[in-house]
């Protein structure tokens, strides 16, 4: 009992001191998710439908990061973030999932970066040698065309994903993103997270005691967070298979067929090798087409050609 009272006293002292020193608003509810002490998503929804959020993760090896509302990609509302064209700022793109394909940018959903909080000095930036950091607000986002958040749920399903290492830099919210290398889902207590009785909300503040001010991404780590569930690491072997098939065809089979005809004068063997090479090229092309189908630009082209 004494230990419990001491813990309550310590938490209350931290609350008072953190609010007084750093302006962290303890009247704004919030909940946090942390994956591997790297990716963090925290939010504070309000009764009028606005969602204030923090999202951060290392900029390397993640060329994009994302968080979403739902139990799977399909029909989920997601915030996808990646470095802007200048490599310093961050582009945030609201998207809705469509099966297991690249999520589609949804311009009707408004997301704003927030830069004026005392604990958001690096908001919407890529910190040199560090992380992508976002503090933002999504307008009227507790409901969207294909779903909604249940602000009374103690186990609201949410998802997250981290992109692979790549050279993605764009100011466009419609930029094409490569397939994620890590994805997973978790649940969050929305009663704990939400200001469900009023319009007021605020970006969640740092959630570890005694952080160095001004806070960085390291101030949003592992204290009082929701554990992850069913995290999966993806390894996309299709590009390697595509490259290997094309190399075998054009570097080995076709040149071998030419040499057979030139030096050995074996017409039938030459023809057989050319046929084998053609089959391998067709197989490689099939792998390439299959590999590209999840991407929005390819799917849009297929739809246009089929009309």
**Tens-digit pLDDT profile for residues 229-247:** 666 555 666 667 767 778 8
Question: What confidence tier does 276 reach under pLDDT thresholds 50, 70, 90?
Answer: confident
In sequence order, which residues have a C-beta less than 8 Å from that of residue 263 and are 6 or more positions away? Answer: none
Q: Quick one: pLDDT at residue 300?
A: 42
Classify residue 81 by burial, with Cβ atoms within 10 Å: 0-12, 13-18, 19+: buried
* Region 27-233: CATH code: 2.60.40.1210
Question: What confidence tier does 303 reach under pLDDT thresholds 50, 70, 90?
Answer: very low
pLDDT of 260 higher than 60: yes
Q: Quick one: pLDDT at residue 247?
A: 87
Q: Quick one: pLDDT at residue 210?
A: 67
Residue 82: other Cβ atoms inside 10 A: 25
Between residues 108 and 38, the one the model is more confident about: 108
Between residues 199 and 68, the one the model is more confident about: 68
Return the closest-CA partner of residue 91 out of 201, 3, 8, 169: 169
Distance CA 223, CA 13 (A): 16
Q: Where are the domains of the chain?
A: 27-233, 238-306
Q: Quick one: pLDDT at residue 196?
A: 61
35-39, 155-159, 213-217 — which one is most confidently predicted on average?
155-159
- Average pLDDT score over the chain: 79
Question: What confidence tier does 85 reach under pLDDT thresholds 50, 70, 90?
Answer: very high
Q: Quick one: pLDDT at residue 75?
A: 93
Mean pLDDT for 111-139 is 84
* pTM of the shown model: 0.73
Distance CA 176, CA 170 (A): 9
pLDDT of 174 higher than 90: yes
87-96, 223-232, 256-265, 279-288 — which one is most confidently predicted on average?
87-96
Classify residue 194 by burial, with Cβ atoms within 10 Å: 0-12, 13-18, 19+: buried
Question: What confidence tier does 306 reach under pLDDT thresholds 50, 70, 90?
Answer: very low
Name the residue with tokens 């050279």. Answer: 167
What does DSSP assign to residue 51? E
- 7-18 tens-digit pLDDT: 444 444 444 445
Q: Quick one: pLDDT at residue 233?
A: 55
Task: Report percent pLDDT > 90 for the chain.
Answer: 30
In degrees rounded to 5, what are phi and psi of residue 24? -70, 120
């Amino acid at each position: 009992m004494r230990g419990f009272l001491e813990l309550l006293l310590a938490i209350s002292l931290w609350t008072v001191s953190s609010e007084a020193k750093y302006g962290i608003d303890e009247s704004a509810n919030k909940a946090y998710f942390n994956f591997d002490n790297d990716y963090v998503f925290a939010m504070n929804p309000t009764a009028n439908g606005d969602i204030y959020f923090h999202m951060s993760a290392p900029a390397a090896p993640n060329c994009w990061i994302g968080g979403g509302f739902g139990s799977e990609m399909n029909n989920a509302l997601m915030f996808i973030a990646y470095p802007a064209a200048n490599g310093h700022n961050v582009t945030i793109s609201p998207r809705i999932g469509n099966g297991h394909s690249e999520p589609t940018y949804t311009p009707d959903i408004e997301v704003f970066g927030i830069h004026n909080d005392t604990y958001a000095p690096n908001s919407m930036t890529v910190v040199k040698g560090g992380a992508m950091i976002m503090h933002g607000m999504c307008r009227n986002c507790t409901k969207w065309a294909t779903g909604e958040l249940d602000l009374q749920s103690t186990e609201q399903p949410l998802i997250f994903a981290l992109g692979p290492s790549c050279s993605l830099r764009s100011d466009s919210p419609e930029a094409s993103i490569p397939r994620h290398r890590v994805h997973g889902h978790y649940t969050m207590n929305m009663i704990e997270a939400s200001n469900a009785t009023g319009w007021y909300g605020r970006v969640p503040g740092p959630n570890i005691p005694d952080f160095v001010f001004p806070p960085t991404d390291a101030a949003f780590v592992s204290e009082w967070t929701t554990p992850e569930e069913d995290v999966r690491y993806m390894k996309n072997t299709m590009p390697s298979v595509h490259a290997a098939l094309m190399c075998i065809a054009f570097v080995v089979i076709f040149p071998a067929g030419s040499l057979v005809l030139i030096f050995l004068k074996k017409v039938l063997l030459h023809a057989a090798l050319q046929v084998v090479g053609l089959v391998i090229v067709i197989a490689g092309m099939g792998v390439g087409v299959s590999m590209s189908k999840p991407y929005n630009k390819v799917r849009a082209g297929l739809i246009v050609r089929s009309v």
